[in-house]
Structures are given as C-alpha cells and as structure tokens.
C-alpha cells in the first residue's frame, strides 16, 4: 500500500520501505514487512560473513553463494516489486589491504549478478569511504556497462559538514556531496547510477540541501534515531526534517525506515493482525509508528493546484522550441495557448490603459483608435483588444495580420460569428511584407518565446514598426531575458543519450522540476519597442558572473535555465522569471541551455558565463560558454546546431 494519493495528484506514487538484516527466510521477512504496511524491503542478499577467499570449493570445484533464499521462494514480480538488494557493507574496494580489495571486487560483482538474476529494480551500494573512491567507482562503472534495467543506488550520508583534524594540524570540512560528485564523474554520469541519502539527526544548510534536488535521488533512508519524541512519547520530526521530507515527496523520492524502535508505539508491539493473504496472525511491525508518521506527513501536504496538475506530464521533458515565423503552427498548439486566460487578461489590461491614455474621455465618441494585431493567430488578442475597447467606451478599428493561411480561415469564421465585420479587417500576410493602408496608434503582438526574443519578436516588430505612428504605442513595450545556473542531472542525461555535440548545442523548452537553482537570475538581453535608434542592431553580447552562496558547498552546473519578463504597457507585465512570474500563466515553460561538459564550481569561486545573440541573413542563433572556474568550448558556434529561421 503506497503512502496514498493526495486529491488531484496523479503523479508517481510514493512508497515507504524498511531496511532489514540478513535473514535466510526471505518469504517471512517480506511477508512480515508487507503486513506491517511497508511496500518493499531493502535486504542483504548474501550472508554478511561471506568472504570469497574463505569460501570452500565443493567436490567438483564449484562454490555455492550463501544467498538469503533461492530465486524460487518468491515470484519474479515479488522480487522486482518488493525487494531492493543491499550490497554487503564490509565491501571496501579502496582498502590498502590487497586481500580486502580482491574479496570486495569479487563479492560486489557476485552480488550484483545475483540481484540482476532476480530481476530486482535496484541495488543499494555501500557508501564510499571518502572522496578517494577511484577503484570502487571503476568496478561499479564496469558493472554499469553490462547492466540492463537495474539501477544502482549509491548510499550517501546527508550529514552536517564538520571540521576534521588533518595531518597538518589544521582542519577541513567534510561535504558528502563531494563523495557523490567524484563517484558519478568517474562513472561518466551514468543514468543507471542514482543516490540513496542517509538522513541523520543533523542536517546541512538549506542551500546545501537544495543541491540534491537536481540530482538523481531515488531514496531517502530515515534513521529511527533521527526522529524526535513528542509530548506523548511518539516519534516526530523537526520542522527542518519535515520540510526536507516534503521536498522528497514532491520529487517522487521513496522513503526507507532504518534502525531499531527507539520510541513509544501507540498500539504496542504485541498488537496482532491477520495477513491479507492468509489466516496467519502477524505481530505488529516494531517500526510501524515511524511509517504512520511518514504517511501522516504525506497526507497533510497541500493538494497540487490545477495548473501544476496540468503540467505534471511536462516535468523535465525536453521539447524543441517553436519556430512560428518559419513554421505554421497547428490547431492543437493554438488551442493550448488560447486556454491561458491569464495571459490574455494581462493583454486586455494593457490595451485598456493604452486606450485611456490615447483618447481622453471628451473625445471617446469621436476619435477612432487604429489598433493592429500582428501575428493574430486565431484571434484571442483581437478579442482581448475589442473587450478593452468596450470596457473603456473607446471606438476601435482593428487590423488582424496573420501569415498562417490556416489560422486566417479560423479568423474569418470568428469575425463572422461575433459580428465584428465592421470593426476588424483581416490581413493574410507576413507583417514584414505588408503595406498598411494607414498608420496604427497601437501595435499589439505576442511573439515572445521562453527567452523573450528567441521566437524573433525583435525582427518581426522591426518589420512592423514602419506602420506604427511615431508617437504610437507598442504592446509589449519591452522584454528582458534572464539566466540562472542549474544542477539538472536528468536533463543532462536526456541530452547525453543522443551521443552527439548537436544536442548539447540546442536550447530546449522544459517544465523544470528536478533541478537545483544555484544562484539568483541575472538579466541578459533587453529589447524595446518601438526602437527608432539610428544604429539599431538585434545582435547582443553579455558577460555574467554568478556567485553561488558559500554555504551551498561545491555545486555542479549542467546548464542554464532561461526566462523572460515583458512590460506590456506601463505597470502591466507578464513573464516567467521566478521572482516576478505571472501567477497561473502556463503559455511558457523555461528554456534550457545545456553544457557539453558539466562544470563543478568550488565554494567561493565565481561562475563566469558569456552569452551572444547572433544575427545572419537567414537565421538568428545563440552562442554560449563558461570561462570560470575554468574554460569550456564555445557552444553552437556560427549556429551550427541550433538556430531560428528568419
């Protein structure tokens, strides 16, 4: 029985397992744990006293592994659904003792081979014994090369950094994230290598913890002595631990209870219940009170808002950005964007204010404002503009300019259906080629991409600007792009699977979820409309220097998240920059610029990033690179992999 589903939450179920000792009777261990309410066990598969060098060969020269049980004692579905194999903790592949190293390597391969034979979904690897884990990582990497579907979870203690004495008489801090980072770098960022975090009674800083949400954390092992005791003697967690657990739940991290009963059990350990599958009476599981508390924390979380539920399927899913200038959008794409009522209400507010500023009350009945919607699509901005005119009592003449002939068909139907024939003129043309019969007072467009200018709004509006009156109003009047360094292990691996440079030099639209945002956003490029400057150019270059908070510790940067914020008119804005994002708007996800080689940033080191917006005769593209803490190649030179067609 999973921890339960909250109302309206259709995302992955969250499960709670229990860590067990070695036991020859695996069916009994599993039955007892499942009847106690747990969903799976993390169990040793091999007797912990076994050492390959001490194994006695049978008469025929073979030896039999001292496994917990034959593969036949459980069904294949029970092995795969309810058992995570726990690799022996004595294994030390970086020991200075050659005998220990040899035994460890043989045992590791034997145990993972047995787990693979059982079709387990995952195995829990013992924690590295520090950053010097080269031989351990080498052996695991060898195993990963031949592993099919099973994941390996590397156990990493999530503990507060402490000052440790060293040989020089000074001290240094221990950051166990460094252990994980060293290990995964040596294993080439394998997508089958994940993390199981040991959650202890003390926790690192919030910013340090935040790094883990961009990493492939599959399980959180909560130790019973990490729980506090409430006034009635029952287990509970500190506020900081509760917040961390909520973060784990939100990222579909499975929970594992580990340890002995150290608290009062509300029902007592002698309580019995019948197993669902038989008439056998089972004693109450001694760790049930911890499971009940974890389930309580999960159930009391707020339900996901409607927008988040809608976006669940898009989380961390890489999509190519739209190219509406080069390609004609499909009906389904228009329909999705037209459902974003928040966006169009913001446009309506902007037009409302512009009309009031443009035409004073005393001239409302005599002056007709000429408004042009360039890139009218199927008409939502036309509707928003006409509603603003009705609200303000201003007279409006609308030109709806659209290059997509298929959308123009829908526009004609809309105008006829709404009876707008006298107010709206439909123009089937690219705005850059159309010769307008008169000048516009207000120019309305929605040509923005996730990075503001990445769908070529500047180039389009440059072409349309010639039919705007010199004192005319452009909505939007300006927009700015923003960048932010992120840890995004899943996104990096999804790009890496293509095994080519081109995919690492492409920008992707993505609903960011399993990421760690490492520093506040910084502005990159700004465009203003109308722009009557003499030496106008849409080429841009910006150098940014990010400072990752020192208490974060070291962090790995897989790429950059891009956002935008647009001023529609005066104080009316819309955007997706996290600090100022328009609530409940879903037309835009962030954009992701990957790095071919992830870069590790030590504490206190600045991250220097260079971004270019380049313009050619037929395309626009971005180039980007990192020059500190060390230099990486310039990505997408000359737009060789990713560009937007003019």
What number of other Cβ atoms are within 10 A of residue 162's Cβ?
Answer: 10
Spatial CA neighbour of 564 closest among 582, 540, 544, 583: 582
Q: Is 455 a catalytic residue?
A: yes
Residues 6+ apart with CB under 8 A from 99: 53
Beta carbons of 255 and 265 less than 8 angstroms apart? no
Beta carbons of 92 and 100 less than 8 angstroms apart? yes
Beta carbons of 646 and 459 less than 8 angstroms apart? yes
DSSP for 353-380, written as a single string: HHHHHHS-GGGTTT-EEEEEEES-TTSH
Residues 6+ apart with CB under 8 A from 644: 321, 323, 325, 326, 454, 455, 456, 619, 620, 621
Question: Torsion angle, CA of 383/389/395/400, rounded to 10 degrees?
Answer: -30
Beta bridge partners of residue 645, listed in sequence order: 619
DSSP 169: S
Task: Name the catalytic one among 455, 505, 577, 623.
Answer: 455
Question: Torsion angle, CA of 174/177/183/189, rounded to 10 degrees?
Answer: -160
CA distances in angstroms from 195 to 16, 130, 181, 252, 520, listed in the order given: 16, 15, 11, 13, 26
Determine how β-strand 619-628 pairs with β-strand 606-615: antiparallel
Task: Name the catalytic one among 19, 215, 446, 577.
Answer: 446
Helices marked H in 450-575 — which ranges?
Answer: 457-464, 489-496, 501-504
Token pair in block for residue 559:
């790429």
- Please give the order of strands across the beta sheet that includes 606-615: 540-547, 606-615, 619-628, 644-645
Q: Is 446 a catalytic residue?
A: yes
Residues 6+ apart with CB under 8 A from 500: none
249: left (phi over 0), alpha (psi -120 to 50) or beta: alpha
Place of tokens 């307008």: 436
Q: Which residues of 242-256 are buried (b: 16+ CB within 10 A; e: fewer)?
A: eebbebbbbbbbbbb
Token pair in block for residue 333:
């794409």
Beta carbons of 644 and 619 less than 8 angstroms apart? yes
CA distances in angstroms from 617 to 431, 587, 645, listed in the order given: 18, 29, 9
DSSP 123: E
Helix axis angle for 341-358 and 380-392, nearest 10°, is: 40
Beta carbons of 117 and 71 less than 8 angstroms apart? yes
Give CA–CA dist 312/10, Å, rounded: 8
Known catalytic residues? 446, 455
């Amino acid at each position: 029985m999973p921890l339960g589903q909250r109302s309206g939450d259709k995302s992955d179920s969250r499960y709670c397992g229990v860590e067990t000792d070695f036991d020859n009777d695996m069916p009994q261990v599993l039955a007892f744990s499942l009847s106690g309410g747990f969903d799976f066990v993390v169990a040793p598969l091999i007797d912990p006293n076994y050492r390959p060098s001490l194994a006695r060969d049978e008469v025929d020269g073979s030896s039999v592994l001292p496994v917990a049980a034959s593969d036949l004692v459980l069904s294949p579905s029970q092995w795969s659904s309810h058992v995570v194999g726990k690799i022996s903790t004595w294994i030390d592949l970086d020991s200075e003792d050659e005998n220990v190293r040899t035994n460890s390597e043989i045992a590791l391969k034997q145990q993972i081979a047995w787990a693979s034979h059982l079709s387990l979904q995952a195995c829990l690897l013992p924690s590295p014994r520090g950053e010097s884990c080269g031989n351990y990582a080498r052996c695991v990497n060898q195993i990963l090369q031949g592993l099919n579907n099973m994941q390996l979870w590397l156990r990493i203690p999530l503990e507060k950094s402490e000052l440790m004495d060293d040989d020089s008489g000074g001290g240094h801090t221990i950051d166990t994230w460094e252990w994980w980072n060293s290990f995964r770098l040596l294993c080439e960022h394998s997508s089958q290598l994940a993390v199981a975090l040991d959650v202890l009674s003390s926790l690192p800083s919030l910013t340090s913890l935040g790094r883990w949400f961009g990493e492939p954390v599959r399980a959180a092992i909560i130790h019973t002595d990490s729980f506090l005791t409430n006034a009635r003697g029952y287990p509970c967690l500190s506020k900081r631990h509760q917040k961390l657990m909520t973060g784990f739940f939100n990222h579909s991290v499975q929970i594992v209870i580990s340890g002995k009963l150290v608290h009062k059990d509300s029902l007592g350990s002698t309580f019995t219940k019948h197993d669902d599958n038989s008439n056998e009476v089972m004693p109450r599981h001694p760790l049930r009170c911890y499971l009940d508390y974890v389930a309580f924390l999960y159930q009391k979380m707020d339900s996901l808002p409607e927008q988040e539920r809608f976006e669940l399927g898009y989380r961390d899913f890489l999509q190519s950005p739209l190219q509406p200038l080069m390609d004609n959008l499909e009906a389904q794409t228009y329909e999705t964007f037209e459902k974003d009522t928040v966006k169009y209400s913001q446009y309506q507010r902007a037009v409302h204010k512009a009309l009031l500023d443009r035409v004073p009350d005393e001239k409302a009945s005599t002056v007709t404002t000429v408004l042009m919607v360039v890139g009218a699509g199927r008409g939502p901005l036309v509707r928003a503009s006409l509603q603003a005119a009705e609200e303000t009592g201003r007279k409006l003449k609308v030109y709806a300019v659209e290059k997509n002939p298929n959308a123009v068909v829908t526009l004609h139907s809309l105008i006829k259906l709404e009876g707008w024939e006298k107010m709206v003129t439909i123009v089937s043309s690219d705005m850059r080629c159309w010769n307008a019969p008169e000048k516009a007072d207000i120019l309305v467009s929605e040509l923005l991409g996730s990075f503001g200018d990445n769908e070529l709004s500047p180039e389009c509006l440059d072409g349309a600007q010639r039919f705007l009156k010199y004192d005319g109003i452009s909505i939007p009047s300006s927009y700015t792009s923003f960048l932010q360094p992120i840890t995004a292990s899943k996104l990096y691996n999804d790009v890496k699977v293509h095994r080519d440079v081109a995919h690492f030099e492409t920008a992707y639209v993505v609903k960011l979820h399993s990421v760690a945002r490492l520093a506040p956003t910084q502005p990159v490029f700004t465009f203003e409309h109308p722009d009557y400057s003499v030496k106008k150019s849409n080429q841009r270059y910006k150098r940014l220097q990010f400072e990752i908070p020192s208490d974060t510790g070291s962090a790995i940067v897989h790429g950059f998240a891009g956002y935008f914020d647009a001023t529609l008119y005066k104080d009316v804005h819309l955007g997706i920059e996290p600090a100022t994002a328009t609530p409940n708007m879903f037309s835009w996800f962030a954009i992701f610029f990957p790095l071919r080689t992830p870069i590790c940033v030590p504490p206190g080191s600045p991250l220097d990033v260079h971004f270019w917006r380049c313009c050619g005769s037929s395309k626009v593209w971005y180039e980007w690179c990192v020059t500190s803490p060390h230099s990486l190649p310039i990505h997408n030179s000359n737009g060789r992999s990713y560009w937007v067609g003019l």
